[in-house]
Amino acid sequence: MQFSIMAADLEKKDDAFTSLPSSNHPSGGIIAHGNITDEVVLSKDGFPLFPQPVLSDELDPLNWSKTQKHIILAIVMSLYFMFTYITTTTVPSFPALQEKYAATLEQINWTVAIPALGLSLGPLLWASPADIIGRRPIIILGTIMALVATIGAALAPNYSGYMAARFFQGLGVSPASNVGLAIINDVFFEHERGQKLGLWVLAIDQGLLFGPLIGGFISLAGYEWVQWLTAILLGVILLLEVFFLPETLYPRRLMMTEEREKTGEDGLVAVKRTKKLGFAHVAPIPGMRHPNLWDTIVRFIKTWKFVVVPVSIVVYCFGWYWWVLSVVTLVPIAYAETFPEAHMQGLLYIGLIVGTLLSEVLCSGSLSDRIVVRLAKSSDDNQKVPEMRLWLAYPAAILTAVGLIVWGVSVDNGYHWMVGQVAFALFGAGIQMGNTAICSYVVDAYPMQSMATMTFYAVMLNLSAFVDPFFIVPWVENVGFTLTFAGHAIITVGFCIPLFAVLHKFGPRMRRWSGEPDWKNPEFEQTVF
């Protein structure tokens, strides 16, 4: 008779599983020895875990201690914090950079767009190597590139050299997006995804906002020190990666399907994996099928076929998220007379920081997980559906729109700066909730293609960030803050909410119509080369 294992019975170190007859669950059993075994591992809520852990293998990242998992999460979040920190920390130094490079404000504004271009192209370059030689070497290599580029930015003698260094800064930290999320998926289960993705999204949002706050004060010591501090932060992160980030790409399919040879203490097939790989391992990870180097670009193109992914991501990035860059880059202009000092302007981002933090604690990742469990238990078939993640997108869009309108009106009418802080808190909360909802949705929709979907997300997110600085200043100069940000709000509500409602209603049908992708993440591939 087949049965399921709940983790409470197994007394796993930190996770709670359960055990029930698998005939009550459609998932079948764990695949091992080439056959379906007796066991299906369930979460404490009674849903089959995804991915299924290899219970007897201590090298399976899903079996690692909660402490180690969260150390890994913290390292990934730290690099993802730098993902946007590098783009905005220079904003308070714009006047000094204008003088240094004899450039116009518009040209200096492009120095925010150029690293975003590197952040957009990087995921296409790093994804396949990360699926071949592993997550760890790619994260470390990218951090080294960003560190060297940051030193170059601090020493750049002219505008063109500075722009080149800024591009490679973005390219270097870009693995934090898709490769970073792949690491999170390697070590955490699907039912934890909302919370962990919420924290991951919080890192990018906080980097975007702490950048100008910290940069404003550091610029008092000179604009070069903005880059030197960035170099110090990247150096610390590099040390953490080298000593505390093990390889997490795990040959899951092989470990669950191949004939198990009792060649080691764990009795599993003798394949070096995760913590057993060399300290400086750069060869292909054994025991799994690897993509070609160009497969990331091919899969990026193929992803357009799976309608819910491009619709949700493109709508969010180009109808919602890119307004963040509008706000961040215009704060120095909006409060130039009230707060002429760069370090004081940096303090104006506190409202955004508070909004994103409160949103994550109260309304984002963990709430999303609870909503999914509640809706699944109340459904007729007791099944989780990815579209359940979209419920948080509606209030998030409304919060964003209200914040945008209030801020635009407050600037044009000269309201007290605290009105702007309240507006920023609403705006930041909406952005955080929306980002978490969309990321969780696309990963839940195609969990075995998460590297491809998150590459698509990273490219589109940063492409929108690259484009925004080129049009936002002329827009404000032509019609003012009120009409500009009212336009932002109308687009967010009038464009995004109806399309998310369409996804909510017809998403399952769209996914069936699109068919199944013809590739998987390498850890789930059946064929091993």
Per the structure block, which two tokens stand in for 152?
Answer: 């170059």
CA distance 150 to 231: 6
Dmax over CA atoms of the chain, in Å, equals 77
More confidently predicted of 528 and 398 = 398
> Which amino acid belongs to residue 477?
E
Is the pLDDT at 363 greater than 90? The verdict is no
Rounded (5°) CA angle 165-180-85: 40
Cis peptide before 51, with omega less than 30 degrees from 0? yes
3 beta partners: 39
CA distance 166 to 304: 30
Is the pLDDT at 24 greater than 50? The verdict is no
Q: How many CB atoms lie within 10 A of CB 515?
A: 9
pLDDT bucket at 25, cuts 50 / 70 / 90: very low
pLDDT for 257: 67
The model's pTM: 0.82
pLDDT bucket at 268, cuts 50 / 70 / 90: low
Average pLDDT over residues 388-397: 93
Inter-residue contact 468 to 416 (CB < 8 Å): no
Nearest alpha-carbon partner for 323 in 352, 357, 360, 348: 352
Nearest alpha-carbon partner for 453 in 251, 260, 319, 313: 313
Give the tens place of pLDDT for each residue, 171-208.
999 999 889 989 998 999 877 877 888 888 889 888 98
- Average pLDDT over the chain, rounded to whole? 85
Q: How many CB atoms lie within 10 A of CB 240?
A: 17
Q: How far from 380 is each of 384, 433, 487, CA to CA, in Å? A: 11, 28, 42
pLDDT for 362: 81
Q: How many CB atoms lie within 10 A of CB 353?
A: 18
Size (the chain), residues: 529
Average pLDDT over residues 501-529: 85
18 beta partners: 42
Scored b (16 or more CB within 10 A) or e, 311-333 reads bbbbbbbbbbbbbbbbbbbbbbe
What does residue 51 show for φ and ψ, rounded to 5 degrees?
-70, 160
Burial class (CB in 10 A: 0-12, 13-18, 19+), 415: middle
Burial class (CB in 10 A: 0-12, 13-18, 19+), 67: exposed
Per the structure block, which two tokens stand in for 25?
Answer: 């669950």
CA distance 346 to 444: 37
CA distance 311 to 299: 16
32 beta partners: 35
Give the tens place of pLDDT for each residue, 116-158.
889 889 999 999 999 999 999 999 999 999 999 999 999 999 9
Place of tokens 């409602």: 501
pLDDT bucket at 470, cuts 50 / 70 / 90: confident
Average pLDDT over residues 64-70: 94
pLDDT for 40: 67
What does residue 5 show for φ and ψ, rounded to 5 degrees?
-110, 130
Average pLDDT over residues 212-230: 90
Give the tens place of pLDDT for each residue, 73-112.
999 999 999 988 998 899 888 888 988 998 887 788 788 8
Nearest alpha-carbon partner for 149 in 126, 121, 125, 168: 168
Contact partners, residue 129, CB within 8 Å, separation at least 6: 138, 293
pLDDT for 403: 96
CA distance 249 to 291: 14
pLDDT bucket at 27, cuts 50 / 70 / 90: very low
CA distance 281 to 32: 28
